[in-house]
Amino acid sequence: MPARADSLRARDRDRLVFRSQVALGAVGLAATTAAVVTAVGSVHRASRGTHQIVIAGQQFTYPAVNVAAGVLLALAGLGAVVLAIMVRGTWTQLRADRSLARGIPVLGPLPGHPGVAVIDDATPQAFCAGYLRPSVYISRGALELLSAAELEAVLSHEYRHGSTRDPLRFACGRLLTKALFFLPALRPLGERYEELAEQKADEAAVRASAGERGPLAAALLAFDAATPAGAAGISNERVDSLLGHPPGWRLPSALIAVSLAALCGLVVLVWRASAAAAAHATFNLPVLSSQPCMLVLALLPAAVVLGAHAFHRRSPRRASAVSGA
DSSP summary character for residue 104: S
Q: Would you place residue 318 in the very low, low, confident or very high pLDDT band (cuts 50, 70, 90)?
A: very low
pLDDT digits (tens, 9 = 90+) for 249-277: 788 899 999 999 999 999 888 888 877 76
All structural domains of the chain with their residue ranges = 2-324
The stretch 134-144 carries a mean pLDDT of 93
Is the model's pLDDT at 190 over the cut of 60?
A: yes
pLDDT at position 197, please?
92
Closest to 179 (Cα-Cα) out of 263, 270, 101, 90: 90
Report the distance separating Cα 243 and Cα 149, nearest Å.
18
Give CA 160 to chain center in angstroms: 21
pLDDT at position 308, please?
64
- Model's pTM, two decimal places? 0.76
CB 23 within 8 A of CB 198: no
Cα dihedral 212/216/218/223 (nearest 10):
180
